[in-house]
Amino acid sequence: MEIDPFIFRLSIFILSIFIGYYVVWSVTPSLHTPLMSVTNAISSVIIVGAIIASLSGVSENIFDFSNIFGFLAIILAAVNIFGGFLVTQRMLQMYKKKKKK
Amino acid sequence: MISANLSALFYLISGILFILALRGLSSPETSRQGNYFGMVGMTIAIIVTFLSVGNFSAGLIYVAVLLLIGGSIGAFIAFRIPMTAMPELVAGFHSLVGLAAVFVAISAFLKPEVFNLGTVGNIKLASLIEMSLGASIGAITFSGSIIAFLKLKGIMSGSPITFKGQHYINLLLGLSLIVLIFYLCKTQSDSIFWRIIEISFLLGLLLIIPIGGADMPVVISMLNSYSGWAAAGIGFTLENTALIITGALVGSSGAILSYIMCKGMNRSFFNVILGGFGATDESSSKLSKEEKPVKNGNADDAAFLMKNASSVIIVPGYGMAVAQAQHALREMVDALKKNGVKVSYAIHPVAGRMPGHMNVLLAEANVPYDEVFELDEINNDFANCDVAYVIGANDVTNPAAKSDPQSPIYGMPILDVEKSKSVLFVKRSLSPGYAGIDNDLFYRDNTLMLFADAKKMTEDIIKSL
């Protein structure tokens, strides 16, 4: 009997939770704020769904109800992607070591 | 147009790059590189999506323009936002992720054939469950984050809003969501789908309003986690590996942060979520309070004490963030170092309004990160330290957490400020901290209270140094 592809995705999901668990515990507490802003940026990879939603079925009518939701989602996710990565970058630039004399 | 298999492999690569992005944060040295990995992963995911749709028609222009608009707004915010506003920024960003998840789910529900989920009115069962869960968690994340944002920004009062039967209403809403999702699967009806989203919005609002300002570190972490689960739900719907991996990473990251924050307060997750902490606590200690004498000092006294000390530990708290005193504080420390005083910083896990809040502010003020220590790294040093300079922190230093089993914060790990030879408290008044309890430390012989705004007091001390 063939295995449902859903099971494969579920496996990826559960393994990723474990990876996340171990990786996040190794994050130093002083970088917890950048951790939040960068997780925020990467969770905006949801933009792929938004792009598919808004690029498909364009031949008929681009301002279809469902396309419009796709467009809105693209704007929101793009704000997050750029905002999230750049603000993380800005924060990380500030973490400096003591200058050795 | 590239094949579905090839694009799936590219999505896997983005997922791995995202893991490396988080891995980089294990030390400040590798963190910047990690962030670049994250950006590359995102770029790959977006380009692959364009290629896999392959329909380079009029729609592409719109998408590119929208990306640009959103991107410039995001970049503008990222460069302009002051570091003290980081908690509300993160809360705001979470709300956007949540809303984006809702929109994508709506789009998938209205046009399932685009995502290979079946046809309208005949969507695959698994997809229906996944998208309604994604939409529901996304909506909760959105409205909850909006409330968190308003509270952090001070537009809405930070004190808990409670009313009778609150928890039952939430329970009822939660149960009705499950029932509605069940009926959605049976009937595929539009109106039920919209009801699910509406109820989730409402539930998000109601879940966050009873939680007070100082519990925000837990709330932000929790919403961070929710935004991850919402993304994962959508990832299952779209059968997209990058989204599933990311959702799982973010979900567990937020959950771990919430756990660390709860532990820092010695409270259970449910205790925090049920809310109302510090609101109704009319403690009996009020009567005795007025009679106790405190030693009141000024900037000259403080400067004298610290100049003649051999080691000083700084304990920053939310008050420092409110007063924006971090730069003045660094200058004061520089002046002290010139006098040969050894200075370090001690950070409590729940200091401030989000995990790592104090560290970012100190980093902004150019404090080297190897002078900043976590609770368990530095707590033993208080016994050998001459002066503890507590600036804008209160509950996290309260010895009642160790000695008084009646105290609401009993059992919470605290910084052992009381063990240092003398303690300087910069505070605007004698008012109790967030937990609504009196701090015994104020009345000790070796404590000097400095009643002033944190920034002004620190500046005055610099002058007298």
Residue A59 has pLDDT above 60, yes or no: no
Residue B342 has pLDDT above 70, yes or no: yes
Residue B429 has pLDDT above 80, yes or no: no
For B93, nearest residue in chain A (alpha carbons): A80
Whether residues A49 and B238 touch (CB distance < 8 A) is answered with yes
SS3 assignment, position B392: coil
**pLDDT of res. A99:** 58
**pLDDT of res. B55:** 64
Confidence of residue B285 (pLDDT cuts 50, 70, 90): very low
CB contact, 8 Å: B23 with chain A? yes
List B residues 235-294 in contact with A (Cβ-Cβ < 8 A). Answer: 235-254, 256-257, 260
What mean pLDDT do residues B255-259 have?
92
What mean pLDDT do residues A25-52 have?
93
**pLDDT of res. B95:** 95
Q: What are the C-alpha distances in Å from B334 to residues B127, B328, B338, B343, B435? A: 60, 10, 6, 9, 33
Q: B95, B120, B250: which to substitute to probe chain A, counting the most A Cβ within 10 Å?
A: B250
Whether residues A56 and B114 touch (CB distance < 8 A) is answered with yes
**pLDDT of res. B279:** 47
Which stretch, B2-6, B35-39, B206-210, B261-265, has highest mean pLDDT? B35-39
CB contact, 8 Å: B400 with chain A? no
Task: Using the structure block, give the residue that is written with the tokens 């029932």.
Answer: B179
Burial class (CB in 10 A: 0-12, 13-18, 19+), A21: middle
Residue B76 has pLDDT above 80, yes or no: yes
What mean pLDDT do residues B86-90 have?
92
Pairing relationship of beta strands B387-391 and B311-316 according to DSSP bridges:
parallel
Comparing CB atoms, the residue among B69, B107, B237 nearest residue A69 is: B107
- The share of chain A scoring above pLDDT 90, in percent, equals 62
Residue B457 has pLDDT above 60, yes or no: yes
**pLDDT of res. A54:** 82
Contacts of A8 (CB under 8 A, 6+ apart): none
Tell me what the pLDDT averaged over chain B comes to: 87
Residue B286 has pLDDT above 60, yes or no: no
Confidence of residue B276 (pLDDT cuts 50, 70, 90): low
Distance from CA of A55 to the nearest CA of B (A): 5
**pLDDT of res. A61:** 63
Out of B395, B416, B438, B460, pick the active-site residue: B395
Pair A79, B267: CB distance under 8 Å = no
Residue B188 has pLDDT above 90, yes or no: no
- Lowest mean pLDDT across A46-50, B115-119, B126-130: B115-119
Confidence of residue B72 (pLDDT cuts 50, 70, 90): very high
What mean pLDDT do residues A89-96 have?
90
**pLDDT of res. B217:** 87
**pLDDT of res. B449:** 87
What mean pLDDT do residues B360-387 have?
90
**pLDDT of res. B284:** 38
**pLDDT of res. B451:** 86
- How many C-alpha atoms does B215 have within 13 Å on its Cβ side? 28
Distance from CA of A36 to the nearest CA of B (A): 7
CB contact, 8 Å: B339 with chain A? no
Whether residues B369 and A30 touch (CB distance < 8 A) is answered with yes
DSSP secondary structure of B301-316: HHHHHHHT-SEEEEEE
> Whose CA is closest to B277, among B343, B199, B211?
B211
- The share of chain B scoring above pLDDT 90, in percent, equals 46
**pLDDT of res. B2:** 79
CB contact, 8 Å: A61 with chain B? no
Residue A65 has pLDDT above 80, yes or no: no
Tell me what the pLDDT averaged over chain A comes to: 87
For B255, nearest residue in chain A (alpha carbons): A21
Give the pLDDT confidence of B9-54 residue by residue, as tens digits.
Answer: 999 999 999 999 999 999 999 999 999 999 999 999 999 998 888 7
In angstroms, rounded to a whole number, what is the distance separating the alpha carbons of residues B234 and B231?
A: 5
Confidence of residue A60 (pLDDT cuts 50, 70, 90): low
What mean pLDDT do residues B418-427 have?
88
Residue B63 has pLDDT above 90, yes or no: no
What mean pLDDT do residues B317-327 have?
89
Higher local confidence (pLDDT), B289 or B424: B424
**pLDDT of res. B98:** 95
pTM (two decimals): 0.90
**pLDDT of res. B282:** 40
- The share of chain B scoring above pLDDT 70, in percent, equals 94
In angstroms, rounded to a whole number, what is the distance separating the alpha carbons of residues B31 and B217?
A: 22
What mean pLDDT do residues B197-208 have?
94
**pLDDT of res. A63:** 66
Comparing CB atoms, the residue among B49, B78, B257 nearest residue A51 is: B49
- How many C-alpha atoms does B231 have within 13 Å on its Cβ side? 35
Whether residues B359 and A33 touch (CB distance < 8 A) is answered with yes
**pLDDT of res. A25:** 94
What would the two tokens of residue A17 be? 């939770």
Whether residues B22 and A38 touch (CB distance < 8 A) is answered with yes
Residue A11 has pLDDT above 90, yes or no: yes
CB contact, 8 Å: A11 with chain B? no
Residue B281 has pLDDT above 70, yes or no: no
> Whose CA is closest to B278, among B349, B214, B351?
B214
Residue A38 has pLDDT above 60, yes or no: yes
In angstroms, rounded to a whole number, what is the distance separating the alpha carbons of residues B230 and B145?
A: 14
Whether residues A89 and B32 touch (CB distance < 8 A) is answered with yes
Confidence of residue B289 (pLDDT cuts 50, 70, 90): very low
